[in-house]
Structure 1
Amino acid sequence: MNRRLIAPLVLGAALNPVNSSMIAVALVPIGIAFDALPAETSWLVSALYLATATGQPVVGRLVDRYGPRTLYLIGSAMVGVAGLIGTLAPSLAVLVVARVILGIGTCAGYPAAMYLLKRARTERPGSVLTLLTVAAQTIVVIGPTIGGLLITAGGWRTVFAVNIPLAAACLILGALRLPRTARVPGPRFDYLGTLLFAATLTSLMLALMGRYWFLALTLIAGAAFVTHQLRIAEPFIDLRVFGGNGPLIRTYLRTLMAQTITYAFLYGFTQWLQAGRGLSPSVAGLVLLPMSLVAIGGSALTGRSTRFRLVLLVGALTQIAACALLLPIGSSTAVWVLVLIAAACGLPQGINNLVNQNAVYHQADPARIGAAAGLLRTFTYLGALVAAAAFAHQGAGLRAFAVFLLAVSTLMLLLVCVETFLVRRTAHQPTSPEPVPSAT
């Protein structure tokens, strides 16, 4: 691949993780500024993930049809507009709109990078994939810390304002370095499937946040979505990847549970550090730093292992232990103890996230690996939405929140214990496949 492409691709792919992690330390200051409850500020998290979960497959298909340059530039411009709206927002509702625009705009970076890597046939793309992965993980590591420092320097609006120079850099680099490509004709886009999917996720989120009558709409929209997807030749999300593949379905369920724990710690624990423990946004961001660093270390230690069940057992057990550590802490707990707890929470995150991704790579039908990978991201976003709903009811306390996390982690352990067929053996599958790099 042309080295001139690396800078815009890495920067574009980093826009989503940086905005996902920085907001964690801004929720409490924003709630104070607009006199909003956690249930209301949690929409700043869920709005981005609802937009991303729906927009990612849409933008990915548009990249295939119109080329990466056009979608990359449009997405970068949307990020800049969202940053400006958030900086000037007079209300929480306008901030939520900014996060929706931000979620859609950040959908373009990763599929644009994958498109260009696929076209780069003269070189092995492994090094660039690794660079994208490391960059995303690093951004998640330092995102809360950067957010805390920005808030200390200029208030919570700087978390939105920083997107303006980032978007400008993407626009300049993208316009100068990304190649122009011809439009590729393709099948008609599944607009109905997109709307049904968005309706299902949105009504599910509202139901999880206490408006339980939306559950009926979730079931109706979900049933209509599944029926429609199975009836058309080119669906919005190819549900045929399940195809009786029990191990793959269970991997998606484990991903949902693991990501629920991951995002609950990232957002819920961070809110408690500020509202319950009284730490400043900058200090709360620094407390979280060991969690992400240990997560990267856990991924590095277990990334090449193909003993999926053993690694998952370790991940599930350490996850339960980390959640249990939250039970006795309170408003007087020493900061160094909170740092150690954050570090302990990082180990299962690094283990579970990577091994579930590697399991999907080996379990999915090779002819549908792209759709399988897309569904893995969908379940990741679903975990983030469940976490957002959980910490919306948290308030300043942590005990009930810790009990919820223990319940989810225990269910995951039970699912791992009953798993006897982690890798789907087929005639076309190699006996000792190489593990794949993690993607955030």
Structure 2
Amino acid sequence: MFLIVSIGLFVIAVDQTVVATALAAVQADLDTGINWAAWTITVYSLGQVIVMPMAGRLSIRYGPRRILLGAMTLFTVASLCCGFANSIEVLVLLRAVQAVGAGALVPAATGIVVASFGDNRDRALGMFNSIFSVGAITGPLIGGLCVTFLSWRAVFWVNVPLGILIVALSLRYLPPTASGERQTFDALGALLFALSMLGAMLAITHLGGEGASPLSPFFLAAAASGLVLGVLFVLHARRRAEPFIPLRLIHGKGFGVLNLINTLYGVAAHGFSALAPLYAQSRYGLSPLQGGTLLTSRAVGVVAVGGLAVLSLRRTGYRLPILVGLAGFVVSLTLTATSPSGLAPAHWLAMAAAVMGVAMGITVPASNNAGFHLAPDQAPAIAGLRGMFRQTGAIVTVSVATAILSRSADPGVTQGVLFLVIAGVVLAALPLVALIPEHRGSW
């Protein structure tokens, strides 16, 4: 059962990075600009931010097995169609459909583990991040091989046989999972939440565009719509006995601090993965290949300590590994921003990336599990919100950084300063770890 879920998570993780290697080929073949080509990556992240919490609630209502099967089927069909896209507009639209399937898979997988693994569910959930790290390592390699020997279209088609395998194995081996809530579905709440997140994310990503301004009509309209719809969602959720997403899962006791920690995780860890290769090239003149190996060093760090962190979780509890991991983020970001002395820049940055990976491997098992005991019956929804906050942190970081760098006379040095600012924000948040619920793996 864990193997089936793991293959699904691996495919989703590969698709986060594999498309980046094909951007130049997509741009040339479809005769489009780099901004449109980059939207094939941006829309994938945006879609997951919106879908993850919604899929978590649907998993509770209809059972996680049904959602996983539907998500994987949709993802596989969309992958097949992406390979046949004849224009960049069609490709971006199909990538959005792909994101719906990818975003729904994680909370559904969490629900299956919670329902099936009993006392070992905390360890199974803790292993998820190692799977994502292996996918991050192999994604660029698979993409490079496909583009070099086949076509950029093969980057998407490689998902199809794996998707079919997962669906077939799930139908055969995953037992039916019980449906939960049977009250009237809060369709209005779901719509308000989705549209508010869409407006907010479009406003944030717009800032990263070339020449974008926070005073532009598009930014103001998107931000205003996101804010207004967000307020309407909160008011609606307060009035409804069974809202689409209970507000206590967002800001309730224990949940509020965990959501903030997960946002900071996205800012530091995911933001680093997006910005570090560019930083290596713009500040130190390293090649794209050398810049890409930084992510390999980070992933190796995650895998090296992830298993030990999972096995130690019941002894360490949640607070200590999260505290150590966040402190590791501060060290890694500071090392990255500091000019190397006595070491080649490539080696220095690889060491900083490895520290980031070790910190992630220590942090994730604890942060993946902390909070589930507060509402065990809401585990898929909690997992969906956790993914949403992490992705939101990453999108905010990349968009703001891109906006600043586009106006900088020395982007390399400016990026170093941004890494130090992020390190300072994470350092200031360390005292919040004391507020995290502590149950040492017991639900």
> Same fold by TM-score, threshold 0.5 exceeded?
yes
Aligned equivalent of 1:77, options 56, 69, 73: 73
Within 5 A, what are the aligned runs for 1:265-344?
265-271=272-278, 277=285, 279=287, 284-300=291-307, 302-303=309-310, 304=313, 306=316, 311-327=321-337, 335-344=346-355
Distance 1:368 1:105 in 2: 20
Matched residue, 2:210: none
Partners of 2:126 and 2:365 within 8 A in 1: no
The structure-2 alpha-carbon separation of the partners of 1:68 and 1:359, relative to structure 1 and needing over 3 Å to count, comes to closer
- RMSD between aligned alpha carbons? 3.8
Shift of 1:294: 0.8
Within 5 A, what are the aligned runs for 1:37-52?
37=34, 40-52=36-48
TM-score by length of 1: 0.79
Gaps of 5+ in 1: 425-431
Matched residue, 1:221: 229
Matched residue, 2:52: 56
Amino acid at match of 2:39: W
Distance 1:163 1:224 in 2: 39
The structure-2 alpha-carbon separation of the partners of 1:351 and 1:191, relative to structure 1 and needing over 3 Å to count, comes to same
User: SS in structure 2 opposite 1:88?
Assistant: coil
Question: Share of identical aligned residues, percent?
Answer: 27
Please state if 1:230 is matched with 2:230. no
Aligned equivalent of 1:422, options 435, 438, 443: 435
Amino acid at match of 2:277: T
Matched residue, 1:260: 267
Tell me which moved more, 84-93 or 56-65.
56-65
The structure-2 alpha-carbon separation of the partners of 1:271 and 1:112, relative to structure 1 and needing over 3 Å to count, comes to same
Please state if 1:408 is matched with 2:419. no
Partners of 1:359 and 1:423 within 8 A in 2: yes
Q: Deviations over 1:389-419 (max 9, x none)?
A: 24544569443333333222311211214x3
Distance 1:95 1:372 in 2: 31
How many residues of Structure 1 are paired with residues of Structure 2 in the alignment?
420
Tell me which moved more, 351-360 or 72-81.
351-360
Please state if 1:349 is matched with 2:355. no
Shift of 1:341: 3.4
Partners of 1:24 and 1:266 within 8 A in 2: no
Partners of 1:313 and 1:413 within 8 A in 2: no
Partners of 2:199 and 2:223 within 8 A in 1: yes
The structure-2 alpha-carbon separation of the partners of 1:71 and 1:219, relative to structure 1 and needing over 3 Å to count, comes to closer
Distance 2:324 2:126 in 1: 25
TM-score by length of 2: 0.79
The structure-2 alpha-carbon separation of the partners of 1:122 and 1:308, relative to structure 1 and needing over 3 Å to count, comes to closer
Shift of 1:258: 1.9
Distance 2:6 2:137 in 1: 16
Partners of 1:322 and 1:345 within 8 A in 2: yes
Partners of 2:279 and 2:412 within 8 A in 1: yes
Shift of 1:203: 1.8
Distance 2:24 2:327 in 1: 31
Partners of 2:48 and 2:388 within 8 A in 1: no
Partners of 1:56 and 1:108 within 8 A in 2: yes
Gaps of 5+ in 2: 208-217
Structure with the higher helix share, 1 or 2: 2
Q: Deviations over 1:294-320 (max 9, x none)?
A: 123344555526476654454344323
Partners of 2:57 and 2:244 within 8 A in 1: no
Q: Deviations over 1:6-57 (max 9, x none)?
A: 44333223332221232344446545665534x5554333322332233234
